[in-house]
């Protein structure tokens, strides 16, 4: 984590220098993730030309993850680093409904956006291939993905964004349809569901030409 933090500090400074030279700061995203590899590797793969993204893998979950995002944001402010958007990426998993819902409420109260998945982030990957509206154990996600990918799915993979890019439009459509099928919304009970597509759609506004 120390080396990773140093990398992002250098990248932040470089981005600021470039934006100062142009006279206008680049929009910036802070994406604080529950997973230390899966989600950060995915969001780090977005090739953005007009925004700066800092994915952080914390190894925390629900409420503690949101609190960590607040801490990172506030520390950044001390150094005059302002994030235009702050997102928390976390899963329902087997956490209590109270903790899961409380995390979403706390995030909203703090102006932080939640890209949650019920039950796990890999649901977002699965939606690239098919529309799923029936709940199934998250333990099956890896086996299902391995079959769809035609190779063993690796949670630490750095290539998932590239592998799935051509199907991303379908994933966004499926995720929207799935989320809209729940009326009223109840995040901890809406299984399966995800709002990861909302973050992806925001990032896509700043994609470089050809991705």
pLDDT in tens, the chain (211 residues): 454 555 455 555 555 544 444 557 899 999 999 999 999 999 999 999 899 999 999 999 899 999 999 999 999 999 999 999 999 999 998 888 999 999 999 999 999 999 999 999 999 999 999 999 999 998 999 999 999 999 999 999 999 999 999 999 999 999 999 999 999 999 999 999 999 999 999 999 999 765 5
Cα–Cα distance between 50 and 41 in angstroms, integer?
A: 20
Cα–Cα distance between 34 and 55 in angstroms, integer?
A: 11
pTM of the model: 0.87
Q: In whole angstroms, how large is the CA radius of gyration of the chain? A: 17
Contact between residue 129 and residue 173 where contact means Cβ atoms under 8 Å apart: no
φ, ψ dihedrals at 55, nearest 5°: -85, 135
Span 110-154, pLDDT tens digits: 999 999 999 999 999 999 999 999 999 989 999 999 999 999 999
């Amino acid at each position: 984590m120390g080396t990773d933090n140093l990398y992002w500090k250098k990248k932040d400074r470089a981005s600021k220098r470039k934006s100062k030279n142009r006279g206008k700061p680049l929009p910036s995203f802070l994406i604080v993730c529950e997973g230390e590899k899966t989600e950060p590797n995915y969001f780090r793969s977005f090739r953005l030309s007009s925004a700066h993204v800092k994915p952080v893998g914390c190894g925390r979950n629900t409420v503690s993850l949101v609190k960590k995002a607040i801490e990172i944001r506030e520390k950044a402010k001390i150094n005059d680093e302002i994030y235009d958007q702050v997102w928390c990426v976390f899963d329902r998993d087997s956490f209590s409904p109270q903790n899961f819902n409380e995390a979403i409420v706390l995030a909203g109260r703090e102006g932080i956006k939640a890209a949650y998945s019920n039950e796990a982030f890999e649901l977002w990957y699965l939606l690239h291939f098919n529309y799923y509206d029936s709940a199934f154990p998250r333990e099956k996600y890896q086996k299902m993905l391995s079959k769809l990918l035609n190779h063993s799915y690796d949670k630490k993979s750095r290539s998932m964004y590239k592998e799935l890019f051509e199907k991303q439009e379908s994933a966004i459509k499926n995720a929207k349809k799935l989320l809209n099928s729940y009326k009223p919304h109840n995040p901890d009970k809406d299984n399966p569901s995800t709002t990861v597509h909302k973050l992806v759609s925001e990032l896509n506004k700043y994609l470089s030409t050809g991705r």
